[in-house]
Amino acid sequence: MQRPKEYTVHEVQAQMQSAVPPRLVDVRDLSEWNHVRLDGGQLLTEELLDEMVNQWPPETPIVCYCHHGIRSLNAAVYLAQRGFHNVSSMRGGIDAWAREIDANLPRY
- Candidates 43, 24, 29, 38; CA nearest to 87 is 24
pTM, 2 dp:
0.95
Q: At 12, which CATH number?
A: 3.40.250.10
- Is 11 a domain residue? yes
Number of folded domains in the chain? 1
Residue-wise pLDDT for 68-104, tens only, equals 999 999 999 999 999 999 999 999 999 999 999 999 9
Catalytic option among 66, 79, 80, 87: 66
Establish whether 64 is a catalytic residue.
Answer: no
Instruction: Provide the H-helix boundaries in 1-108.
Output: 9-16, 30-35, 46-55, 70-81, 93-100
Residue-wise pLDDT for 42-56, tens only, equals 999 999 999 999 999
**Containing structural domain, residue 52:** 5-100
